[in-house]
Amino acid sequence: MFEKKAVCLVSGGMDSCVTAAVAHREGFELAFLHADYGQRTLEREKKAFEDIANFYGVKQKLCVNLEYLARIGGSALTDFDIEVPRGQLKRQGIPITYVPFRNANLLAVATSWAEVIGAKSIFIGAVAEDSSGYPDCRQEFYEAFQRVINIGTRPETQIEIRTPIIHLTKADIVRLGVQLGAPLNLTWSCYKREDLACGECDSCLLRLRGFSQAGLTDPIPYAVKEFI
C-alpha cells in the first residue's frame, strides 16, 4: 500500500519521465496526467505516455484534450503555418514553440484532479535552464502558482507543486534518469516527426546534446544526428 499519491504530468518526453521516476523513488503512488493540445506529434507522445505508465504500473490515468490551445494558436507547436525551426539553439528570447501560458493550463487541470483524488503532490518536469526561455518554466512561476493553489482550493486541501529537475541541465537529467532506471527508451521528445526523431528541432538537439554531455547514447532512433 502506498501512503501518498502524486499527480505526475507526463508528456511522454524525457523530462517528464525522469520526473515521474523521482516521484516513484520517493514512494508515491503515481497518477499520470497527459494532455493533447493539438501538438504535431500527439499520437507518438500519447504512445510514449502509455508505455511509461505501463512501465510503472500506473492505475490512475487521465488524458485531457486541451485542443483550444491549438485553436488559440500563437505557437509553432500547434499552428502548422508556423515552421518549427531547426538547429538554432542559440537564439535569444522566447522560442516560437512557446505555447502561450500552457503550463498554467496544465497545472490547473492537475490541481482539479489532485484535489478530487486526494493527491498531495503534483510533479511537473519543467526545466528552467537549458530547455527554453519559456516564461512558464521558471521557478518563480511555480512559486506563484503554488499560492494560487493554496488559496483557490478547499481549506483542507494540501497540494504541493514539485519541480525536481527544474535546475538540472539536460545532461544531469539523462544521468539522473539512468541512475533511477527510468525507461528513457520509451520516451519521445521530437517536436516534428512521429516515426523517427528528426534530430534537428530544438527539442531533439537539446536531448542529443544532453546524452552527449553525459557520455551516453540516446536509445531512441533518429533520422539525422547533427553534430552537437
Cβ proximity to its own copies, 94 vs 224, nearer residue: 94
Q: Of the two residues 59 and 71, which places its CB atom closer to its own copies in the complex? A: 71
Q: In the complex with its own copies, which residue's Cβ is closer, 62 or 178?
A: 62
CB atoms under 10 Å from CB of 224, counted, come to 11
Q: How far is the CB of 128 from its own copies (least distance, A)?
A: 12
Binding site for its own copies (CB under 8 A): 62, 64-65, 67-69, 71-74, 94, 98-105, 107-109, 111-113, 115-116, 135-136, 138, 140-141, 144-145, 147-149, 151-155
Nearer to its own copies, 112 or 212 (CB): 112
Q: Tell me how far, at minimum, the Cβ of 52 lies from its own copies, in Å.
A: 20
User: 203 — phi, psi (to 5°)?
Assistant: -65, -40
CB of 143 to its own copies, least distance (A): 9
**Residue 47: CB minimum distance to its own copies, A:** 20
**Contact assessment for residue 77 and residue 191, using Cβ atoms and an 8 Å cutoff:** yes
